[in-house]
Chains A and B, each alone.
Chain A
Amino acid sequence: MPEDLTPGVSPFDRAAAARLPAEPLARHVAARPTRLWRRPLALAVLVLVAGAALGAAGFAAEQHSFVWRPSVSATSDGGWRITGSAGLRPVAPVIAGDRLVWGQGAYTCVLDLGSGETHVVGVAPHGTSIWPPSAGERYVAWIESPKANGVRATLWVYDTRRGRRQSFAVGPDAATTAVSGDVVVWFDLGPDGIPRVVALDMDSSRRSILAEGPEIDYPVLADDGVVGWLERGASGSAPSVVLKDMEKGAATTVPLATDGSGLSVGDIQLGGRALLWTLQSSTTTRLVAFDLDTGATTIVAQGLIENPAIDGTVVLWTTGEGASGSCVVRGRRLDGGAEFDVGRPAAWPQSLAVGSGWAVWAFDEGTWTYLETARLGQ
């Protein structure tokens, strides 16, 4: 039986059908193609969404089960605490700009001190050892050295502004990095085995050898347009540090102790345009600063001094307090003034860093190791 031409109207009532108002033709013509594609489109989008959901679920499962993230929590005083277990101790903290950089096992991590946002910027493969990271306002640098002899090491440089990292092949004996502005410097050995200080300009990716000679040793230092390196003289003579102003090209040699004094030199650091080091005798430790601009050498503090740190304006160190020997972090401004208390870590710190109005210390407490930040008073 043929279909009704007009639904609801008897085929025998043609006259009645003719009296019904006709539907506009344009409505049918316009609606039909859209309606024809609606279901296929919905099904195609469904496949897309199902696939994306599968990918997101896989990502979440992988992050949960296999991807390591540092444990960072905010403290009541507006600072940050990073907690690590015995196998993954947070070590070698550095503060540059508004960022805290540290190493934790095979990982190199960056924390934004303002927001608490954390990035794991480096994961060293098995069979490599990592030199502690160094950091400038923009770049973070570290060296991964294969444990096998003669295999070239890798210098990694992470650009905090772009979120990008680049790798550069360096010599097998490359060690310690330092960052100043767009320049990364490190210690290396030349093909003939002679020590050298190498600089890499991140703007141009050009390398240059800043110094070369058998007397050169690490650490290399860099800050505020100044690069420095250690020089060891003949046996028995005290070491010195050469500071080179990268803009002016002028080099200054700073003797760290007088020859034959018997003092032990340690903890050499550069902060801004000031060099800091410790001189240790059998009875006391002196914390000494050299101002590159004035050429003046001053004793910042004396006594039981450990883990000194400098950022160009402030010097911090840890010392004992009272009969119990509990630990206190103390500080002093380089432009003068009295010593002041910065904080009291729960246990004696293994390392200390300062920069941008922040201090950070690492300490062990039983099976856990902590990095704790504190704001410096004005």
Chain B
Amino acid sequence: MTPLRRYIPPPLEAHGQKILLLLLVELCLLNVADFALTRYAMWLGFATESNGVMDFFFQQSAAAAAIFKLTMVTGGAVALWLLRRHRAALFAAVLLTGVFAAVVAYQVLWIASL
């Protein structure tokens, strides 16, 4: 009987690492846009923060919320970059960037519709 061997995917090659880097840069920029648009929608009086953790930081101050949000996402992006040899880092970056792009596009359209 052949023993089961753990599948180890091949490491992410240089081309994939370039995509990962670009996606992480996009992610950080989208995070800044997400924060700015959320803050603007709240200032307009038509939106409230539905994320309980972010709402806690917004209750403290906008600066606290900004520091928390930017630190978390930028830290996550750095962590993914440190894991760049793993293909999972690229999948995670694609997913996160896609979701953030969707959120930012939704916010832009929503604010424009007010």
Determine if chain A interacts with chain B. Answer: yes
A40→B22 contact, CB < 8 A = yes
B45→A164 contact, CB < 8 A = yes
**Interface presence of A54 (CB below 8 A):** yes
**Interface presence of A48 (CB below 8 A):** yes
The interface residues of chain A lying within 8 Å CB-to-CB of B78 are none
A56→B109 contact, CB < 8 A = yes
Chain A: which residue is nearest B40 at the CB level?
A164
Interface residues of B in 84-114 (CB under 8 A from A): 94, 97-106, 109-110, 113-114
- Interface secondary structure of B, over-half rule: helix
The interface residues of chain B lying within 8 Å CB-to-CB of A43 are 19, 22
The interface residues of chain A lying within 8 Å CB-to-CB of B110 are 59
Tell me, rounded to whole Å, the shortest Cβ–Cβ distance linking A202 to chain B: 13
Interface residues of A in 14-41 (CB under 8 A from B): 36-37, 39-41
CA of A164 to CA of B106 in the docked complex: distance in angstroms? 19
B44→A51 contact, CB < 8 A = no
Number of interface residues of B (CB under 8 A): 26
CA of A167 to CA of B46 in the docked complex: distance in angstroms? 10
The interface residues of chain A lying within 8 Å CB-to-CB of B43 are 164
**Interface presence of A63 (CB below 8 A):** yes
The interface residues of chain A lying within 8 Å CB-to-CB of B22 are 40-41, 43-44
Tell me, rounded to whole Å, the shortest Cβ–Cβ distance linking B80 to chain A: 14
Chain A: which residue is nearest B112 at the CB level?
A59
**Interface presence of A47 (CB below 8 A):** yes
Chain B: which residue is nearest A166 at the CB level?
B45
CA of A47 to CA of B23 in the docked complex: distance in angstroms? 8
**Interface presence of B15 (CB below 8 A):** yes
Which residue of A48, A54, A58, A165 has the most chain B CB atoms within 10 A of its CB atom?
A48
B114→A52 contact, CB < 8 A = no
**Interface presence of A50 (CB below 8 A):** yes
A52→B101 contact, CB < 8 A = yes
The interface residues of chain A lying within 8 Å CB-to-CB of B45 are 164-167
**Interface presence of A295 (CB below 8 A):** no
B106→A48 contact, CB < 8 A = no
**Interface presence of A322 (CB below 8 A):** no
A51→B114 contact, CB < 8 A = no
Interface residues of A in 301-324 (CB under 8 A from B): none
The interface residues of chain B lying within 8 Å CB-to-CB of A36 are 18
The interface residues of chain A lying within 8 Å CB-to-CB of B100 are 51
**Interface presence of A119 (CB below 8 A):** yes
**Interface presence of A163 (CB below 8 A):** yes
CA of A223 to CA of B13 in the docked complex: distance in angstroms? 71
Chain B: which residue is nearest A44 at the CB level?
B22
Other-chain contact of B102, A39, A58, A63 (Cβ < 8 Å): A58
CA of A170 to CA of B103 in the docked complex: distance in angstroms? 35
B46→A165 contact, CB < 8 A = yes
A55→B97 contact, CB < 8 A = no
A59→B106 contact, CB < 8 A = yes
- 6 interchain residue pairs of minimum CB distance: A51-B101, A55-B105, A55-B102, A51-B98, A44-B22, A40-B18
8 A-B residue pairs with Cβ-Cβ distance under 8 Å, sorted by A, are A40-B21, A49-B101, A53-B105, A55-B103, A55-B104, A59-B110, A165-B45, A165-B46
Can you add 15 more A-B contacts, CB < 8 Å, to A47-B94, A56-B106?
A40-B21, A40-B22, A48-B98, A51-B98, A52-B104, A54-B101, A55-B101, A55-B103, A55-B104, A56-B105, A56-B109, A63-B113, A163-B114, A166-B45, A167-B45
